[in-house]
Amino acid sequence: MSGEVRQPEAVVARLRPHGRALFWPSIALLPVAAGTTYAYTRFDDPNLRLAVIGGGLLLAVLVFVFPLLSWLARNYTITTRRLVLRSGVFTRVRQELLHSRGYDVSVRQSGLQRMFRSGDVRINAGADHHIVLHDVPSADLVQAALHDLMEANADSVAARRHVSTGEQYGRR
């Protein structure tokens, strides 16, 4: 290779699904807290009070903490060279997709997603390999950014191929 200087990879955006996903778990936490408080005041026996607190904590973990951890565990990082998807609470899954390989990007929005300007960004990387960025905020902007990054990477790859082909045949 000639004296080509590659630009360092920079993070363009870090995304996770829209925070709206935590609306119902937050709403469900209210009656769990209220019911636990009410049941706690109804019993005088310390063992029953301890059981009520334990049951309330278990319900809180089931209806709020697990959905919160699931939401926090899913994130998408867009860099100048690739798209990195990470998901999973107990088993982590990491997928990478290079912009230079080229892919099709489309956005699917339900009525509620349109109201919040979010959507599912669907990426077709070919050969039945589909990647979906679920319910990301500003889905149209994400789609435009991915198109721009893919185009910029395709241009730089073509330029590198042109330079290396020219050197191979003694041209510059």
Task: Tell whether 15 is covered by a domain.
Answer: no
CB 121 within 8 A of CB 105: yes
pLDDT of residue 6: 64
Structural domain total, the chain: 2
Q: What integer is the mean pLDDT of 50-73? A: 96
- Which domain, by its residues, includes 119? 75-168
Pairing of strands 104-108, 93-98: unpaired
Question: Considering the domain boundaries, does residue 9 fall inside one?
Answer: no
pLDDT at residue 167 is higher than 60: no
Fill in the amino acid letter for 5.
Answer: V
152 within domain boundaries: yes
Tens-place pLDDT, residues 68-124: 999 999 999 999 999 999 999 888 999 888 888 888 899 999 999 999 999 999 998
* pTM of model > 0.85: no
Q: How much is the pLDDT for 45?
A: 94
The pLDDT of residue 54: 97
Domain shared by 136 and 108, yes or no: yes
Q: Are residues 32 and 81 in the same domain?
A: no
